[in-house]
Amino acid sequence: MARLSLRGIKKRFKETEVLHGIDLEIGDKEFVVFVGPSGCGKSTLLRLIAGLDPITEGEFILNDRSMVSVPPSRRGIAMVFQSYALYPHMDVYENMAFGARLMGLDKAEVESRIAEASRMLKLDELLKRRPRELSGGQRQRVAIGRALVRKPDVFLFDEPLSNLDAALRADVRLEIARLHNDLGATMIYVTHDQVEAMTLADRIVVMNQGRIEQVGSPRELYETPANTFVATFIGSPK
């Protein structure tokens, strides 16, 4: 179970405010996709949720508990990056085991979780390979597997498909949709790609310059965009 509340979240880097007060409730098992142009604050918001960067102002509640001073490894949240962020000197197995060991899981539990994740993501044959011996799609599956073995309540994805070619993008996108169905985890997904947003999301959050323009189902945003920015971004005829 995972429910999140973002309340008045602001982020400043030195003098510059890049998030101006984000308010959003995300429900258990929801698939929420953040879209918006480059530089509007999507990655910054994910990093605050993951705990990789401190919130300047506002409150972030996960399952009735404030997360503001909880370290990343204790939040029950795992993030998958666009750049995969795999350790080049470790093989696939070690890449997946690393975060799980940091959580204090014993060897047998780590092994069984990796076996399960490898099966789900079709990585069984690749466990001894280094990242440089993998294709882009395989690397991204390892990055997803690494998140999976932590069994998080919440998955964060930051443009996970943007380094993949079109065919692989469709594959990995389906994989992520399937994981959402199978695991029943809450997923927060960032993209600048409207097609990804429309096909994956229960709800889409349209951001612009550090603010939320509109939140709604893909259909609501398409049929009743709040303004021309949303209409243009979603590609609706208004």
Which residues sit at the interface with ligand ADP, rule CB under 6 A?
13, 18, 36, 38-44
SS3 16: strand
Long-range contact pairs involving 85-88 (C-beta distance under 8 Å, separation at least 24): 85/143, 86/131, 86/139, 86/142, 86/143, 86/146, 87/131, 88/130, 88/131, 88/132
Minimum gap (Å) between residue 80 Cβ and Mg ion: 13
Q: Determine the 3-state secondary structure of 149 from DSSP.
A: coil
Q: Which does 140 bind (CB under 5 to 8 A by kind): ligand ADP, Mg ion, none?
A: none
Beta bridge partners of residue 157, listed in sequence order: 80, 189
Tokens of 64: 């009735």
Report whether 218 contacts 204 (CB < 8 A): yes
Find the shortest distance in angstroms from Cβ 94 to Mg ion: 28
Tokens (6 digits) for 125: 């044959």
Q: What is the C-alpha to C-alpha distance for residues 41 and 158, in angstroms, rounded to an integer? A: 12
**Binds 51: which of Mg ion, ligand ADP, none (CB < 5-8 Å by kind):** none
Smallest gap, in angstroms, from Cβ of residue 43 to Mg ion? 3
For ligand ADP, the closer of residues 22 and 179 by Cβ is 22
For residue 44, the minimal CB distance to Mg ion (Å) is 8
Residue 221's binding partner among Mg ion, ligand ADP, none (Cβ under 5 to 8 angstroms by kind) is none
Which entry of Mg ion, ligand ADP, none binds 228, CB below 5 to 8 A by partner kind? none
Say if CB 122 and CB 150 are below 8 A apart: no
Site for Mg ion in 27-46 (CB under 5 A): 43
Name the residue nearer to ligand ADP (CB basis): 36 or 51: 36
Could you give the strand order of the β-sheet that contains 4-13, starting from the edge strand earlier in sequence? Answer: 16-26, 4-13, 57-62, 65-66
Q: x/- site string to Mg ion, residues 43 to 82, per CB under 5 A? A: x---------------------------------------
60/157 with CB nearer Mg ion: 157
Q: How far is the CB of 47 from ligand ADP (least distance, A)?
A: 8
Contact residues for Mg ion, defined by CB under 5 A: 43
